Amino acid sequence: MNAVELVWIDHSIAYRIGDTIYMNYNLLKYPEFMTKTLMHEMKHSLNYQSKDFLLDIKESTLWDNILFCLKNPRGFIGFLPFAIHNKKLAIDITQLTIYAIFAVILWVILN
């Protein structure tokens, strides 16, 4: 496992870009959820691969994420499929894929 840097942020929940893991400092209030989230982010690869998508589906903590966001509303920013990171556009491929699947389902239902 590669060494990673942990950076505390005031929005989203947690995400990883390269060898840096960004985590909302409000996670410190929920040590169990924070540990689970950190362990998950550590498993992600440096560059997004298909196995990262499978990891997110397999280890989905959607309900825990929603509960966290209801208490820490800036966490909802993490549900956006796009983010501006260091003045560059970062795309969350997992989120984008899930939104695309929902869009197709909705399109099929409405047509």
Which residues are near Zn ion by CB under 5 A?
56
d(CA 64, CA 61): 5
CB of 16 to Zn ion, least distance (A): 7
Minimum CB–partner distance for residue 22 and Zn ion (Å): 12
Q: Which is nearer to Zn ion, 14 or 72 (CB)?
A: 14
Nearer to Zn ion, 26 or 78 (CB): 78
Closest CA to 65 of 98, 100, 10, 24: 24
The residue at minimum Cβ distance from Zn ion is 56
Please name every residue paired with 20 in a beta bridge, in sequence order, or none if there are none: 5, 17
Nearest approach, Cβ of residue 104 and Zn ion (Å): 22
Torsions phi, psi of 34, nearest 5? -60, -45
